[in-house]
Structure 1
Amino acid sequence: MTVLPDDGLSLAAEFPDATHEQWQHLVAGVLRKSGKEVSGAEAEDALSTPLEDGLSARPLYTARDTAPDPGLPGFAPYLRGGRAQGNTVGGWDVRQRHTVADPGAVVTDLENGVTSLWLTVGTSTGIPVDALDRTLDGVYLDLAPVALDAGDETEPAARELLRLYAERGVAGEAARGTLGADPLGHEARTGRTYAMAPVAELARLCTADHPGLRAFTVDALPYHEAGGSAAQELGCSLATGVAYLRALTGAGLSVEQACAQLEFRYAATADQFLTIAKLRAARRLWARVAEVSGARRTGAQRQHAVTSPVMMTRRDPWVNMLRTTVATLAAGVGGADAVTVLPFDHALGLPDAFARRVARNTSTILIEESHLARVIDPAGGSWYVERLTDELAHAAWEFFQELERAGGQAAALRSGTVGERLAATWAARSAKLAKRREPVTGVSEFPHLDEKPVVREPAPEMPSGGLPRVRRDEAFEELRARSDAHLAATGARPRIFLAALGPAAAHTARLTFASNLFQAGGIEPVTEGAFEESGAREACLCSSDALYEEQAETVAGRLRAAGAGQVFLAGRPGRYSGVDAYVFAGCDAVAVLSAALDRMGVS
């Protein structure tokens, strides 16, 4: 008689454990049915998903997928968190971004869950320096940390904030936040730099009189927004941080003091596991930099995570709420100290009150209702996350070393090394986006041509002149804009007739596929009636392979005779007379749609 384990829950206790090799053998058997003759590790490789930076996500992770000891939360290498308690005391810092002098919006945010402010300051790109006092009217500066982002106006903005602290009686040790000095980040954004000496003086001032203020921000967003990968974002941040350590120690600060003056800003994307791994790897890598630089007590990286502007779409912007929710979850699980949720209408202009409310409540729900902050390093111990963290750390360290060999971050920026590497990465990703291998919901997949546009007031002009800013939706957005202009000029969108052959069971799948694809380019599909009555100038056959063999050439001929200038077939390329082109999963949708609009006279 079999004796059950004490807990009585191991239902397969009487069966031997399955081995990794047995699983690979079963996978190989399934793949053989699809025509792939592989075995062993090859079978597992066939199911792996390639990532950027030469990494891949494997289909199965086990205890064999080892990684270095992550240590304990709050202790070097800080992989599991910069603080021993993690975010379990009050959750992470909910940091809302403001770009205009609107004291009412600032106070409303602080009264409804926001715990710190991120202020974009600039004469033409944000809040004027002389409007800081008015913007912070009603704000208790000893309770609400302030993070400045002022570009080449950092010194006057910082001096004004310090004046406000003194004027309002805020003790030096009570001031919290960052003055936001980031000369190299500003150069990456604009192609221009500003003097290091005055902002290094701010760091000395913070060290002496305002221990809760950090003078410098190492902003990795310029590299993320230029199309960089996770490893490139990390590598640039490390190289920038090292450059600031050199400058600050050269200005008289100790390594410990210099490390304490830096805050790091990273993008959080809807790729939740990659974001978690990126934040964990960033802390490990910076701890290594601090260690070899001689810092023992200040190697814990302070992190500010921002939901990615690259992933935000202008079409169907409501989906951005879902993207930012997943990104915020990843930032929290990854151990970010502060998190900014960009409003869902961020890509359209200034957010309205509803968008700001949804943004701040995203963090509140994850902290208070999902209890995400009650666990320290929730992803720790996951074989997948630990392995991905380790692999990403090595890829980032390799890129960091490349930048150092190029003379450091400043030299690599000015020589074009950084821009070239980021552009190559974005070009590869753009190809995947164009082929819809990386789908964008509401844009390249399941677009809604009849959606009402969301209109917002224009936001202040973003700094430019340096690295480009890219978006995942940009190629399809250009196509949709052409269609919108055609609609405004003619009263109708360009159309394509979808000719469904045979019963619904035969044509529904490819009819749906073709409809989604053409709508992604702003081309309205017509499925009812005859081609002559559709108002379309081109057509696409939709059915099964078997019916194509029987009817494709005949129907294509009829469509051609009825005036169709181009006949597509939804399916893999074949040799059908009368068919001009084929649309299928993995085809270059952007090229197909752009050419179709050209032929339809859509400028």
Structure 2
Amino acid sequence: MSATTLPAGPSVAALAAWRQEVDAILGRPDGVASLVHESFDRLAIEPLYVRRPAMPDEWPGQAPFGRGTPGAKARLEAGWDVRARVEHAAPRLANDAIKEDLAGGATSIHLVVADAMLGRRGTLIVDRADVEVAFADIDLCRVKVAIDAGSRGCDMGVILAAFAASRRWPLAELTVTLDLDPLGAAADGAALDIEACLQQTAQLAAMWYRAGSKGPLLRAGGEVYHNAGASSAQELAIVMATAVAYLRALEPLGIEPSVALDIIGFRLGLDCDIFSNMAKLRAARRLWHRIASACGGGGHSMVLDAMAGQRGQAARDIETNLLRQTAICVGAIGGGADAITLLPFDAIGGPGSSAGRRLARNTQLICRNESHLHHVLDPAGGSYQLEAMTGNLAREAWSLFQLIESGGGMAGMLLRGSIQDWIEETAAARLEAAARVRDPILGVSLFADLEDRPPLTAAADPVLREGIEARLADAPDIEHLDIETQVALAAAGRPIHRGFPREAITALRPLRLAEPFEALRDQSDAITDKIGRRPCLEARALGDPALAAAQRAEAARWLATGGIELIAPEQPPLPVRIVLLLDGGAADIDIEAAARRLRAEGVAGIWGLRPHPALDRHLAAGVDRVTLFEEALSLLRRGPT
């Protein structure tokens, strides 16, 4: 591995000449400034990046590890960990899915464990017998499994320890990562006494650690916050503060922070912005290096996993999810993720079909085995844009991390609702950007298929709740028992399902950016089923017919995102008429006179492509299309008065 020495970049005179040329082309003195955009962290995204004095020359595998940890070199041959997500309700179905994934090329499994009493989706495991079914014929000393149990993390740690003892597998030989994350579970709505749960989680992690377990036992996960709409800097600050909280929880048990660094892993949620994903993963390593150095572990190698976020998934035209998952995969590889988990393209409200899970695996396998993306170490290294984005993001995240620490740490900030307030504000900005199509969603707010209907989802597996109350009635009260006693109860076949008194904490609300547009499409489908035709606007050309035809095609694409058809004047209209005026790009069209004639015909609404005082609404860029189309559907649904 060698250092990347960034070239000096263009001269000051050349840069000034470029700016003048851009201003001239755009016809405005602030032409370059008008091309600068803001991320949801309010960080500038510039049209051109050049070398700056603050950009360091970094070596791959050396501090501060923005370009990869020392273990990154091993991925040049083996590649990253191709991880498959399994969340089938019945343990027997989960076992089938695990075997299918491993046979299909997955190198590890991400098992989501359900909490049926709280409505958390996943595989239902309450005792050792369930584990034996879920992992039948699977050697947990060879197959890597990451457990995602949410509020039931401690339960799973106890049950797995009992299961391993029954198989005579030492915990030191298991290739299982418990991924205990009580703070993330609390933010996700679990009924937890945070301090009590932190203490028991630390005790369980300490027991596994002292038994020689090698994998990360605690996980500072960002996917809960990511799926609620958090910005990149917010997510990074939160996972760093979470990791610090876990370091503090382990210290009273005799595990010093410099040692505890190896017990904690990280997982970040990613969307389909490739460059932001790369910058976020690179910034995470820089931030953790700074914290690890303060703990006496400056050379610590961070374990950083990437997971596709739910917030970018679409429930209509679901094949477009394949493109989003591919973009997530490329960004995760470029950012140096140790393990990558993609979602099946049809995993909306369920685990996805066998075909969907196969395509999720194959997306990674093609990137690895055919595109050989793992043969390039830190492909983003040396990019002025990525170096600037990484540095800016790391600085912003560090400032937020300090705010969390000064506010009492993650537990205190969650209990006061401060973290939730941050994310709610960002989520609102994301929804507004989606509604105004500043952040377009392919197949949803851009190039939507008007006649596409949502796929039928499989019914929930009946075993999820069948008899769960009766099974848990036999569960012992284990909250005040030591870990060894709990393991003994699990070994005896008793259900393990603890419940902590609920604290006054506001749960984060999962966000899916496509939902507002999908709700419009649902309304449109309901109207279509009721009256036998699609709700529609009438196109009325006023200017050059050829130019108006081009405008009509473009307007039809926009209206389709709201479930609205654009019909020609000769087609039969609906009882309630809304007319879209197409001016053909001409400036001399008398819009006001055309609007008067239409109102005399009894038209209920007159729209245009640009703002005009005579129009009721317009489709110009930047308008809130969700609100606009909701109004149109409401009017068309009512019928004539």
TM-score, with structure 1 as normaliser: 0.90
**2:467 corresponds to:** none
**2:627 corresponds to:** 591
Change (3 A) 1:65 1:512: farther
Q: 1:105 aligns with which of 94, 97, 102?
A: 97
Q: 1:557 aligns with which of 582, 592, 596?
A: 596
CA distance in 2, matches of 1:528, 1:447: 23
**2:226 corresponds to:** 224
**Counterpart amino acid of residue 566 in structure 1:** G
CA distance in 1, matches of 2:270, 2:431: 19
**1:3 corresponds to:** none
CA distance in 1, matches of 2:181, 2:609: 51
Q: 1:496 aligns with which of 531, 537, 546?
A: 537
**Counterpart amino acid of residue 206 in structure 1:** W
Are residue 116 (structure 1) and residue 108 (structure 2) matched?
A: yes
**Counterpart amino acid of residue 589 in structure 1:** R
CA distance in 1, matches of 2:140, 2:336: 25
Partners of 1:441 and 1:447 within 8 A in 2: yes
**2:369 corresponds to:** 368
Q: CA deviation at 1:79?
A: 1.6
Partners of 1:220 and 1:233 within 8 A in 2: yes
CA distance in 2, matches of 1:568, 1:591: 14
CA distance in 1, matches of 2:208, 2:565: 59
**2:472 corresponds to:** none
**2:606 corresponds to:** 567
**Number of residue pairs aligned between Structure 1 and Structure 2:** 575
Partners of 2:202 and 2:246 within 8 A in 1: no
Change (3 A) 1:35 1:533: same
Q: CA deviation at 1:582?
A: 2.0
CA distance in 2, matches of 1:303, 1:470: 24
Q: CA deviation at 1:510?
A: 2.5
Q: After the TM superposition, which parts of structure 1 deviate over 4 Å for at least 4 consecutive aligned residues?
A: 458-461, 532-536
Q: CA deviation at 1:235?
A: 0.4
Q: CA deviation at 1:84?
A: 4.4
Are residue 68 (structure 1) and residue 41 (structure 2) matched?
A: no
CA distance in 2, matches of 1:197, 1:421: 27
Q: Name whichever of 177-186 and 392-401 sits farther off.
A: 177-186
CA distance in 2, matches of 1:348, 1:128: 16
Change (3 A) 1:349 1:152: closer
Change (3 A) 1:459 1:240: farther
State the SS of the aligned residue for 2:179. Answer: strand
Partners of 1:86 and 1:377 within 8 A in 2: no
Partners of 2:537 and 2:564 within 8 A in 1: yes
CA distance in 2, matches of 1:507, 1:176: 64
**1:28 corresponds to:** 20
Q: CA deviation at 1:533?
A: 4.3
Are residue 479 (structure 1) and residue 520 (structure 2) matched?
A: yes
Partners of 1:145 and 1:176 within 8 A in 2: yes
Are residue 127 (structure 1) and residue 123 (structure 2) matched?
A: yes
Change (3 A) 1:18 1:421: closer
Q: CA deviation at 1:22?
A: 3.1
**2:146 corresponds to:** 147
**1:450 corresponds to:** 451
State the SS of the aligned residue for 2:218. Answer: strand
- Identity among equivalent positions (%) equals 34
**1:345 corresponds to:** 346
CA distance in 1, matches of 2:454, 2:422: 36
**1:412 corresponds to:** 413
**1:91 corresponds to:** 79
CA distance in 2, matches of 1:191, 1:472: 24
CA distance in 2, matches of 1:543, 1:348: 44
**2:235 corresponds to:** 233
Q: CA deviation at 1:339?
A: 0.5
Q: CA deviation at 1:442?
A: 0.9
CA distance in 2, matches of 1:348, 1:398: 36
Are residue 600 (structure 1) and residue 631 (structure 2) matched?
A: no
Partners of 2:10 and 2:50 within 8 A in 1: no
Q: Mind listing any 5+ residue stretches in structure 2 that lack a counterpart?
A: 1-8, 465-504
**1:433 corresponds to:** 434
Q: CA deviation at 1:55?
A: 1.2
CA distance in 1, matches of 2:75, 2:575: 59
Q: CA deviation at 1:378?
A: 1.5
Q: CA deviation at 1:455?
A: 1.7
Q: 1:513 aligns with which of 548, 551, 554?
A: 554
| Residues 502-533 of structure 1: CA deviation (Å, up to 9, x unaligned) | 44432134323321222211112112515x54
State the SS of the aligned residue for 1:305. Answer: strand
Q: 2:47 aligns with which of 50, 56, 59?
A: 59
CA distance in 2, matches of 1:275, 1:589: 28
Q: Name whichever of 261-270 and 356-365 sits farther off.
A: 261-270
Partners of 2:289 and 2:298 within 8 A in 1: no
Partners of 1:483 and 1:493 within 8 A in 2: yes
Correspondence list, 1:30-49, <5 A: 30-32=22-24, 34-38=26-30, 43-49=31-37
CA distance in 1, matches of 2:374, 2:327: 15
**2:480 corresponds to:** none
RMSD: 2.3
Partners of 1:24 and 1:44 within 8 A in 2: no
Change (3 A) 1:273 1:490: same
CA distance in 1, matches of 2:160, 2:328: 31
State the SS of the aligned residue for 1:266. Answer: strand
TM-score, with structure 2 as normaliser: 0.85
Q: Mind listing any 5+ residue stretches in structure 1 that lack a counterpart?
A: 1-16
Are residue 320 (structure 1) and residue 321 (structure 2) matched?
A: yes
Are residue 538 (structure 1) and residue 578 (structure 2) matched?
A: yes
CA distance in 2, matches of 1:454, 1:526: 27
State the SS of the aligned residue for 1:87. Answer: helix
Q: CA deviation at 1:444?
A: 1.0
